[in-house]
Amino acid sequence: MSRVAYVDGRYVPHGRATTHIEDRGYQFADGIYEVIAVSGGRLVDDEGHLVRLHRSLSELRIEWRMSDRALLAVLRELVRRNGVSEGSVYLQISRGVARRDHPFPKASRPVLVATAKRMDFAGVAERQSKGVAVITTPDIRWGRCDIKTVALLPNVLAKQAAREQGAYEAWLVDEEGRVTEGSSTNAWIVDQDGNLITRKADNSILNGITRIAVLGQAAERQIRVIERPFTVAEAKAAREAFITSTTSFVMPVTSIDGAKIGDGKPGKVASALIGAYRDHMAA
């Protein structure tokens, strides 16, 4: 089955999907995006993603007029046309096409593009069973990481550094030596007292939709959660560590900068939350 994309009102063959050269998303990273998991052919946590989508649009003052109902219809049709049972949907909204100039154009129409792709969830489960390696790198991003913009070059550089060092993810570290989040994930540790620690959702991190779900699942299991920054040293001394995201779900971290975390295997808290999140996706 050939892939199909959605570009500014039309479903088109993926290989011929194009946008205008003066689209502000291309020239200025003046746009926002979301990635939504697909499980059993259904969108996962679509309501939470739409809430965050509208927040990002509002923060960038992009005037978006398409209804949520219409947008969801487009995304579900993309899932159907691409035959995606397990995978993800990517959608991006830019401020639109205008003559290149830094200020907002007086008249522009936002442009929506969206794609859907299949994923190997079995591969994710295999990594979950073993855990993954993480490196740390300075956080060089801008001061509004809570907005899910397409300006991801610092994240790309961090992820590439992780790949070059044989790691799965890079944790970004602020000037005070505290972990903010991963290049495309949220970061968590379990301290020696069994407390689950993750940074509070402020301007320094993106409030992940999977993060929100996991917070709820931890509360249901009476796991004490402390939302505060933690240092790299704390992370390396932790009993457990893991990351969360739309496409990594709950992923145990078994080493940081080469230092083994706990006994070097996925811990009890992470394993319990993996199961809880699988149930959440199925529901």
Distance CA 146, CA 208 (A): 9
3-state SS assignment for residue 78: helix
Is 148 annotated in the active site? yes
The token pair that represents 14 in the structure block: 């993926």
As a whole number of angstroms, the distance between CA 153 and CA 136 comes to 17
Q: Among the options 106, 148, 236, 260, which is catalytic?
A: 148
Q: Distance between CA 55 and CA 35 in Å, rounded?
A: 15
Instruction: Write phi, then psi, for 104 (nearest 5 degrees).
Output: -55, 135
Please say whether the beta carbons of 218 and 242 come within 8 A: no
In the chain, DSSP finds a helix count (H) and a strand count (E) of: 8, 16
Q: Using CA atoms, how far apart are residues 84 and 78, in angstroms rounded to an integer?
A: 9
Please list the active-site residues. 148
